[in-house]
Amino acid sequence: MSIPRFKSYLSICAAVLMLGQIAAVQAEALPDFTTLVEQASPAVVNISTTQKLDSKTASADMPDLDSLPPMFRDFFERNMPKGQKSPRGDRQREAQSLGSGFIISPDGYVLTNNHVIADADSIIVRLSDRSELKAKLVGTDPRSDVALLKIDGKNLPTVKLGDSDKLKVGEWVLAIGSPFGFDHSVTKGIVSAKGRTLPNDAYVPFIQTDVAINPGNSGGPLFNMAGEVVGINSQIFTRSGGFMGLSFAIPIDVALDVSNQLKKDGKVNRGWLGVVIQEVNKDLAESFGLDKPAGALVAQIMPDGPAAKAGLQVGDVILSMNGQPIDMSADLPHLVGGLKAGAKASLDVVREGKHRTVDVTVGAMPTDDPDMNGNAQGSADTDSNRLGLTVGDLTADQKKELQLPNGILVKDVQDGPAAMIGLQPGDVITHLNNQPLTSAKQFSDIAKALPKNRSVSMRVLRDGRASFITFKLAE
């Protein structure tokens, strides 16, 4: 072999060796889940439920078989779900659901999702050895979607419980559950975000992951690399009905607090301020004189609630509670919900551009949300203005019905700024440019003096719900 060829051969060998070393390093860098799965799987359970439906419910989605031709009648009867009788006889069937859970104590306490066992007449827990046990429902909390079950047993395998507060974005996590009924299926991913708030779930700071979660995974554990449960897999965001890379888990710290209260009292007690809040965007921040978008804007205050008694006002922006900053409005419900009724809280508030402290005694969250509904009706004097609105004064009866000390009624919306921001006849405007409104004339006077090319806030009440909106006048 010539020297040039020999050198070329050595170069190729060196390159192959280097590629092998790189591959080895990469292999070592990838996580190994095998030990974690072997140790944790025995404590993960499959949960199946049945719910008996009455004859009216069972037949609501079934055709009248007597009215069908014989061929079609035989087809429907042949393909009815198991356990459902013909609508021509005693009609009853059982609805079934499937989910996951995990054992948290050797004597048989099991955590899962509320929606897995909601309205169930029978709950069966299947262990890793395929044995099945009937479970008793200890308690459930729909607001956090957590349920606590109890099965009879001793020295049962349990999961290790972790600290979800220490979880970091980008950290590897693993789920074990029963997607579509396939027991002990394992999927992995990373933590995508923390503290997510989802619609109708204001009291849970969800962990977002890209772990593959599908129907049947609900209620199952989310593990960190130390084999500790850091969350309960609960929801996915999807447009297809299946996994699309967005999964959400209830932090285990939240779930354990709920389960401990369910075990002790059979219910969950949460702190409550009695306010409706909204996010502070750039335009709202400008209109309220804030340096940057932050905090929770108080859009509505419940009559006789803790906030009302403490002197909190509509238009206040809450920047912190007990020294804990509120960067996003969703931070406030998490903090308040973690307190018990009677606890003291100190709120850092911006009001009319000035910082002040409001001390409040936290109340207990009502079982049902207070009735905030009310519709403004009736006639009043009207006055047109540069916003493209026809407005009128509220009558005494309307103020009483809406529980409002002030405000004006939107009677008509023409082309202009009001139409562009979505105002509708029947809306009630209580504040304009941070000033409370007492009459239609005052509204017109304020509207005439509004600044140009600057964000202006308006508080609007619609169907009993209040919110601040912003707009700019260009002319």
The domain spans of the chain are 41-150, 160-265, 271-364, 382-471
Is 218 a residue of the active site?
Answer: yes
Domain pair 271-364 / 382-471, same fold: yes
pLDDT score at 302: 85
* Count of CB atoms situated within 10 Å of the CB of 173: 24
Q: Which amino acid is at 252?
A: I
**372 — alpha (psi -120 to 50), left (phi > 0) or beta?**
alpha
Residues 253-305: tens digit of each pLDDT: 999 999 999 999 888 888 999 988 888 888 888 888 888 899 999 988 888 89
Residue 213 and residue 237: Cα distance in Å, rounded?
Answer: 10
pLDDT score at 16: 62
The superfamily in CATH containing domain 382-471 is: PDZ domain (2.30.42.10)
Report whether pLDDT(4) > 80: no
- Which CATH code, of 2.40.10.10, 1.10.10.10, 3.50.50.60, 2.60.40.420, is assigned to 160-265? 2.40.10.10
What's the pLDDT band for 242 if we cut at 50, 70, 90?
low
Among the residue ranges 72-86, 102-116, 393-407, 437-451, the one predicted with the least confidence is: 72-86
Q: Which of 55, 86, 115, 210 is catalytic?
A: 115
- Helix (H/G/I), strand (E/B), else coil: 464: coil
Topology at the third CATH level for domain 271-364: Pdz3 Domain (2.30.42)
The mean predicted confidence, pLDDT, of the chain is: 81
Domain with residues 41-150, CATH architecture: Beta Barrel (2.40)
* Count of CB atoms situated within 10 Å of the CB of 177: 30
Report whether pLDDT(170) > 60: yes
Is 115 a residue of the active site?
Answer: yes
Please compute, for residue 152, the number of CA atoms within 13 A of its CA located in the half-sphere on the CB side: 3
pLDDT score at 28: 55
Q: Which of 145, 253, 257, 383 is catalytic?
A: 145
Residue 419 and residue 454: Cα distance in Å, rounded?
Answer: 18
Q: What are 71's two structure tokens?
A: 């061929």
Residues 118-167: tens digit of each pLDDT: 888 899 999 999 999 999 999 999 989 999 999 998 999 999 999 999 99
What's this model's pTM, rounded to 2 decimal places? 0.66
* Count of CB atoms situated within 10 Å of the CB of 411: 18
Give mean pLDDT, residues 237-243.
Answer: 69
Q: Which of 144, 192, 218, 320 is catalytic?
A: 218
Cα–Cα distances (Å) from 422 to 53, 417, 425, 466, in that order, read: 44, 9, 10, 14
CB burial string 421-444: b at 16+ within 10 A, e below? eebeeebbbbbbebeebebbebbb
